[in-house]
Amino acid sequence: MLRLPKTVRFFRKPDHIAFLFGYASILIVIPTESFELKIASAILFTFTIGYEFYEISQGNRQIVKADHIAFIIAYIMLLVTFWYNLQILLITSVILFGFTLAYEIYDVRRKDLENESAR
């Protein structure tokens, strides 16, 4: 089996890739206030949620995790900014998405270390 380098392990799943592209586009939205990029990021985050629900339905994911809760709150805040263009909501949403990203990278690395120590 092909082993990915540890720095690339986070990018192995489609929901992670979609999340990264969504996060990058939402970071660009803050200074530019680009409505099109906001829509693109919402679509990518919607795919991420859909894929997470798929994984949960397969039984190989926990439902209640800190990063899932932060992601859902950030996603709702992002959707609210379509009706009320409040920068504070968008910035708070980006901070929560950043927490989600950091937690996922930490979790992937922690699992890698557990697998290495089990060998």
Q: For each of the chain's 119 residues, which pLDDT tens digit applies?
A: 455 555 555 667 888 899 999 999 999 999 999 999 999 999 999 999 999 888 888 886 777 788 889 999 999 999 999 999 899 999 999 999 999 999 988 887 787 778 777 76
Write down the pLDDT at residue 96. Answer: 97
User: What is the structure's pLDDT at 10?
Assistant: 60
CA–chain centroid gap for 88, Å, is 19
**pLDDT value of position 7:** 55
Residue 104 lies in a domain: yes
- Asked whether residue 1 is domain-assigned, the answer is no
CA distance 18 to 104: 14
- Sign of the Cα torsion 86, 44, 58, 118 reads negative
Domain count, the chain: 1
Range of the domain at 18: 14-118
Residue 3 confidence (pLDDT): 58
Q: CA torsion angle for 36, 42, 47, 52 (degrees, to 10)? A: 160
In a domain? residue 83:
yes
Is 2 within the bounds of a domain?
no
Query: Looking at the domain assignment, is residue 5 inside a domain?
Result: no
Question: What pTM was computed for the model?
Answer: 0.84
